[in-house]
Structures are given as structure tokens and as C-alpha cells.
Chain A
Amino acid sequence: MSLLEHTPSAAQLRRTAYRRRQTVRSVLVAASSTAALGTLLVLAVTGAPGWDRVRESFLDPSIARDALPAVLAGLWLNVRLLVCCAAGALLLGLLIALLRTLRGPVFFPVRALAAGYTYTFRGLPLIIVLYVLTLGVPGLRLQGMPPVLVLGGLALVLTYGGYLAEVFRAGIESIHPSQLAAARSLGLTYRQTMRHVVLPQAVRRVAPPLLNDVVALQKDVGLVSLAGPIDAVRAAQIATAETFNYTPYILAGVLFVLLAIPLIAVTDWVTLRSARRQSGG
């Protein structure tokens, strides 16, 4: 007998009705507690003695309108830097992770160098790397020195490359040795095994943490403004200094969140998909 023709027993009907009542109840509880908390928050903030002054200095629509072009121009710099630095850091991270998996005495210096790199740049604060590269390196007055923006981007790539290398390495090491044995037994070389069997699986597995680091990078690219280039936050700072009003910061913050939402959504989607795939497999 198919499921469709099945007539539920009285006990099953009682269970279904009970579960339905419980569902309705929990939805009602959730809705009313959210409404209560929201009302409390709004009352607490708008009822505060200093609310009017805070609203004027943080939420002034006309100042937001005036600052918008400059902040948007800064944000465009953030976006361009993000795309270039994310690509660079992903490539560098993958390269370093692969170098760390090389075996054999010939590769000892390469392995040691790669390990030293991930230790150094994961420990070193980004701001110090930025200062050294954007202020220290141009001080050498070498021929053909790249512009400060490129040096700042390089600092970001070096720092994030260290984190991403460890994520890639964790992915590579998570692939079961039996997969390597199967690939090698087919006559594939070590390099072919990495290229066709290990890396495709490893990258899929660590895609969520990789994207998470890219979301973090999105916020850190603005730090190049410490060396001169004007990003969204720096543009907001300039506008604030002109008007003695903090609204441009709020504006920049809102724009950053809007920019991050698509990336975070993609991260969540990839995470969900890989979780489903693993439980399915």
C-alpha cells in the first residue's frame, strides 16, 4: 500500500494535531518576544537624555547626502583592492600550502621557507607590515618603485596569504591517504595526484573558511589609507573633520555592510552545500 492511500491511525492524528499546536505556539512566542525586545530597545535609545544630540551628530541626512560622493569614491578603491588582494592572497596561499607538502631532502629549504613565512605573517600585525612596506620600502629610493597603493596591496596579500595557506594545507591534509593510494596505484605521478585528485577535493572542502577570510579581508583593505590612499573610511573621516559631524562614518559603515552581504550570503550558501554533500556522501 502506498503512503498516499494510508489512513493515519487515531494516535497519529492526535500526534499531528499536537505538533501543529506546538508550532503555532512557538511562532507566537517568538513574534511577541521579538516585538517586546525591539520596542524596549527603541524606547531606551530614543528616550535617552542625549538622544537628540546623538541623532544630530550621527544621523544627519543632509550631511550624509553631501558626503556620499566622496565615500562612494573611497569605497570603489576598497572594492578594487579587495578583488586584487583576494586573488593574490588565494594564489599565494595555495602556492605556499603546496610547497609545504613537498617531500624529499631537496625541498627542505623550500619547505622551511614556506613554514617560516606562515609563522611570521600570521603572527605579525597587519599594520606593521603595511608601515614597513609603504613607508620603509620606498625609503630605499630604488629605481622603479611601485606606487604606494601597490605596496599596500602587497602587504595585505602577504598577511592574508599566510592565513589562507594554512586553510589550504588543512584541506590538503584532510584528504584520506586511501585517495592518494588509489591515484598512485593508477600510475599518476605525485603532481598529477595533487592536481586531479587531492586539490579539487581539498578546495571544495575548505571553500567556506576561505571565503570567510575573504570577508575579513574586505574590512582590512581600508587600512591602506594609513599610507595615503583614500578609502571609504578615510573619506568619511575627512568629511567628519570638515563638518564636525559623525554621520559620514555611519554612512560608510552601512555601505560596508551592504557590500559584505552578497559575499557573506555566498559563503553561507557554499557552507550549506558542502555540509549537505558531506552528509549525503
Chain B
Amino acid sequence: MPVLTCRGLRKEFGGHMVLDGLDLTVDEHQVVALIGASGSGKSTLLRCVNLLEELDDGSIELDGEEISDPRVDPDLVRRRIGMVFQSYNLFPHLTVLENITLAPRRVHRRARAEADAQARELLDRVGLGAKADAYPDRLSGGQQQRVAIVRALANSPRLMLLDEVTSALDPELVGEVLTMIRDLKADGMTMVLATHEMGFAREVADQVCFLDGGRVVEAGPPAQVLGEPTQPRTRQFLSRIIEAGRL
């Protein structure tokens, strides 16, 4: 059974159809990369899956349970999904450790000592142990984004949604975040990531989906979609990326 199944998703913002009958299936341990121009619906799709946006039509299933049913408690669904944002969205009034332990302590009612120990262990593993008691504004963009990933992982999610997590970073800081995502894949985490890093999508993704006009226009193994695209719109998009020197 797939971890995530999206069927016929539709979402409209102010007369503009951002998602227009989108279908997507993600299997366990699979990494799916969403590529496409700005406004093609990548971020909206991720926000819909995390129930941060209300659907206009279609259905979303997480582990076979329809989470787009209005009777489902969205707070319970979000605990099973980790989300990382383009602009990190760390809580500036909390230290790194408090950012990470907020959900374990308040949502999962873990004891403070236990939550702290788990967070410190996760931080040590990504080389940020020394920053546990620092406030986010003392960290570089790359460090902040890695903390944001750790924060999402502290909930032990079933599925991770990564929304252009390197787009706001200085070029020399992109690598450390990508390394962390590579490690997550090695641990078997199921992930959907919206990205502009074509090289990384090619390397890490099991499946690449090209989105255009709110639909998946082309999907398949990275070598095929990025190397020998069959759809004209995919080719057009990739040629612009190549022109910009990003592939």
C-alpha cells in the first residue's frame, strides 16, 4: 500500500487554478521530487497534503486513510507528517533545543528530560550539538534549515514534505542541507520534495514529477524525465534550466 495517494486534487486561488486534477502516488521509502516553474503548484500540493490548505476537490490518503475527509482531525494527521519550509520558519523566541522539543513535549506529552535527550541526540548526529542552546538568529541559513529538518524529524513522521528547502540559502550552504536529505533517504524515510536543484533531484529521487498548470505532466525515473523527456513542455522547461546553467 502506498504511503500517500493523491487523486484529482483541485485548488483555486482567486480565479487561478493552482492544482487542476493532480494525481500522485508515493510508496514507502520512496523519494519523489517535484519539479516545475514557480506557480506550477508544487508548494500548494505540499501544503494541501499537510492540510494547511483546504481542497476544492479530490482526495488525499495517508496510509490508506482518507485525510481529506472533513471529519478527520487535522492536528492528528499533521503529527504523522513532517514539513520543512523554504524560509526555515524556526521560532525566533525559542532556542534550537526548545524549537525541536516543542512538539514532542506539547503534542506527544513527553517528559522534558526525555525530549531533551532525544533532541540532543538528533542534533549531535547532524553536527549541531554545540548549537542546542543558541537562538536561531545566531545560526547560518544552512544551520537553521538543518534544525528545521531535525524539528520535523522529532515527531518521528511517516512522511516528510520538503518545500524548496535550499532556495533561500547561499550557494555554499546548500550542500550541508542536501547531505542531510541524502542521509534521510539512506535511513529509508519517505519524502516528497519540491526543488529547483535538478542535479540533486537526479541523484536522490526515485521518481521525478514535472508539474505544469497544476497537473503532473510527466513522471518517471530521474534519468528518463530529466534526460529524455517525452513531453514538449518538460523539454521546454528543462532547456530553460540548462540555459540558466542550473543542470
Chain A contacts to B: CB under 8 angstroms:
178-179, 181-189, 192, 196-197, 200-201, 204, 280-281
Q: Which residues of A have CB within 8 Å of B74?
A: 184
Contact of A181 among B85, B107, B155 (CB under 8 A): B85
List the one stretch of B86-94, B176-184, B225-233 in contact with chain A. B86-94
Given contacts A186-B79, A196-B102, A280-B137, list 17 more A-B pairs with CB under 8 A.
A178-B89, A181-B47, A181-B85, A182-B85, A182-B89, A182-B90, A183-B102, A184-B74, A184-B75, A186-B155, A187-B155, A188-B75, A188-B102, A188-B106, A192-B107, A197-B91, A200-B93
Enumerate the 4 nearest inter-chain pairs by beta-carbon distance, A residue then B residue, closest first: A187-B79, A182-B89, A186-B103, A185-B83
A201-B92, A281-B92 known; A185+B50 contact, CB < 8 A: yes
Q: Which residues of B have CB within 8 Å of A204?
A: 93
Q: Is B152 part of the contact surface with A, judged by Cβ < 8 Å? A: yes
Q: Which residues of A have CB within 8 Å of B152?
A: 185-186
B89 near A201 with CB under 8 A, answer no
For the complex formed, measure the closest distance between the CB of B17 and the CB atoms of chain A, giving whole angstroms.
22
Our count of residue pairs bridging A and B at CB distance below 8 angstroms stands at 62
Contact of A192 among B76, B89, B93, B106 (CB under 8 A): B106
Q: Which residues of B have CB within 8 Å of A187?
A: 75-76, 78-79, 103, 107, 155
Q: Which residues of A have CB within 8 Å of B90?
A: 182
Q: Which residues of A have CB within 8 Å of B155?
A: 186-187
Q: Is B202 part of the contact surface with A, judged by Cβ < 8 Å? A: no
B93 near A201 with CB under 8 A, answer yes
Q: Is B10 part of the contact surface with A, judged by Cβ < 8 Å? A: no
Q: Is B52 part of the contact surface with A, judged by Cβ < 8 Å? A: yes
Return 14 A-B CB contacts under 8 Å, by A number: A178-B85, A178-B89, A179-B89, A181-B89, A182-B85, A182-B90, A183-B91, A184-B75, A185-B52, A185-B82, A185-B152, A186-B103, A187-B155, A280-B137
Q: Is B209 part of the contact surface with A, judged by Cβ < 8 Å? A: no
- A184 CA to B93 CA, complexed, in Å: 17
Nearest CB in chain B to that of A190: its residue: B75
- A245 CA to B90 CA, complexed, in Å: 63
For the complex formed, measure the closest distance between the CB of B96 and the CB atoms of chain A, giving whole angstroms.
14
- A281 CA to B107 CA, complexed, in Å: 28
Q: Is B81 part of the contact surface with A, judged by Cβ < 8 Å? A: yes
B151 near A186 with CB under 8 A, answer yes
- A183 CA to B148 CA, complexed, in Å: 11
For the complex formed, measure the closest distance between the CB of A184 and the CB atoms of chain B, giving whole angstroms.
6
Chain B contacts to A: CB under 8 angstroms:
47, 50, 52, 74-76, 78-79, 81-83, 85, 87, 89-93, 102-103, 106-107, 137, 151-152, 155
A181 near B52 with CB under 8 A, answer yes
B107 near A188 with CB under 8 A, answer yes
Q: Which residues of B have CB within 8 Å of A200?
A: 93
For the complex formed, measure the closest distance between the CB of B206 and the CB atoms of chain A, giving whole angstroms.
24
A186 near B107 with CB under 8 A, answer yes
Nearest CB in chain A to that of B78: its residue: A187
Q: Which residues of A have CB within 8 Å of B47?
A: 181
Q: Which residues of B have CB within 8 Å of A192?
A: 106-107
- A186 CA to B85 CA, complexed, in Å: 12
Contact of A185 among B78, B87, B106 (CB under 8 A): B78
Q: Which residues of A have CB within 8 Å of B81?
A: 185
Nearest CB in chain A to that of B74: its residue: A184
- A181 CA to B81 CA, complexed, in Å: 13
Q: Which residues of B have CB within 8 Å of A201?
A: 91-93
- A197 CA to B93 CA, complexed, in Å: 8
Q: Which residues of A have CB within 8 Å of B50?
A: 185
B91 near A281 with CB under 8 A, answer no
- A179 CA to B74 CA, complexed, in Å: 17
B78 near A186 with CB under 8 A, answer yes
B75 near A189 with CB under 8 A, answer yes
Q: Which residues of B have CB within 8 Å of A183?
A: 91, 102
For the complex formed, measure the closest distance between the CB of A179 and the CB atoms of chain B, giving whole angstroms.
6
For the complex formed, measure the closest distance between the CB of B198 and the CB atoms of chain A, giving whole angstroms.
26
For the complex formed, measure the closest distance between the CB of B52 and the CB atoms of chain A, giving whole angstroms.
6
- A163 CA to B92 CA, complexed, in Å: 27
- A135 CA to B96 CA, complexed, in Å: 55
- A153 CA to B44 CA, complexed, in Å: 51
Contact of A179 among B76, B91, B106, B107 (CB under 8 A): B91
Contact of B137 among A178, A186, A281 (CB under 8 A): A281
Q: Which residues of A have CB within 8 Å of B92?
A: 201, 281
Q: Which residues of B have CB within 8 Å of A189?
A: 75
Q: Which residues of B have CB within 8 Å of A196?
A: 102, 106
Q: Which residues of B have CB within 8 Å of A182?
A: 83, 85, 89-91
A181-B89, A200-B93, A280-B137 known; A186+B52 contact, CB < 8 A: no
B52 near A178 with CB under 8 A, answer no
